[in-house]
Amino acid sequence: GKIEGGDVDKDFEKLIRNKRKRKISVCIVILFIVLTTLFSFKTENGKEKKKSEVTLEIRCDELIDNPEKMTKPELWQYIPENGIILEETKCTIETGETVFDVLNRVCKEKDIQIEYSYTAGYDSYYVEGIQYLYEFDAGKRSGWIYLVDGKNTNYGCSQYKLKGGEKIVWEYVCDYK
């Protein structure tokens, strides 16, 4: 008999080729899974986080217009002459971020002093001071308020969730009504 070595070699080559194809297929599937995982940023409830923009402004021009109300003259050194602590600034947000999240992050980024406390009864943060200007520094009814699109929201700042496109203004008022 004659040994058919050529047929064995062809079968062996075919087997090797099929194994390579399977390895490549497995690698492609793994790569797809890894990339899918990396690019689908998920929140706790499974919805994809979407990025959008809001604007933030911090001002105390009411105090500038009523300088006689200032109870601590040493604070004038921290207050800009025009009363604008932060000009209208575009901020990128992710779905679910709150007015407080944006304020706190931007103040840290821009090196603006901020102090706040958590109020359990309201389950919200309360902003006590920005740029060394605190509640009661311009009278019994003075302090920080925020407006969204020009309106008072009646929500704590860490309760108000942003959708995107809002204009947020933090304003120091001398006589809160």
Which candidate, 142, 117, 137, 130, places its Cα nearest to that of 78? 130
Q: Which helix (H) or strand (E) holds 171?
A: strand 167-173
Q: Which two tokens stand for residue 2?
A: 């004659």
d(CA 78, CA 110): 14
In 60-162, where do the E strands start and end?
84-94, 114-119, 124-130, 133-134, 143-148, 151-152
User: Does position 138 have pLDDT exceeding 70, yes or no?
Assistant: yes
**Is residue 86 within 8 Å of residue 112, measured between CB atoms?**
yes
Computed over every residue of the chain, the mean pLDDT equals 87
d(CA 44, CA 61): 40
Residue 85 CA to its chain's centroid (Å) = 20
Residue 105 CA to its chain's centroid (Å) = 7
C-alpha torsion 145→150→153→159, nearest 10: -70
Which one has a higher pLDDT value, 26 or 157?
Answer: 157
Q: Which residues pair with 136 in a beta bridge?
A: none
**Tens-place pLDDT, residues 51-92:** 999 999 999 999 999 999 999 999 999 999 999 999 999 999
User: Does position 30 have pLDDT exceeding 60, yes or no?
Assistant: yes
43 pLDDT band, cuts 50/70/90, is: very low
- pTM, full prediction: 0.72
User: Does position 16 have pLDDT exceeding 80, yes or no?
Assistant: no
Which pLDDT score, from 0 to 100, does residue 126 have? 94
Instruction: Quote the radius of gyration of the chain (alpha carbons, Å).
Output: 30
Which one has a higher pLDDT value, 34 or 93?
Answer: 93
Which one has a higher pLDDT value, 43 or 9?
Answer: 9
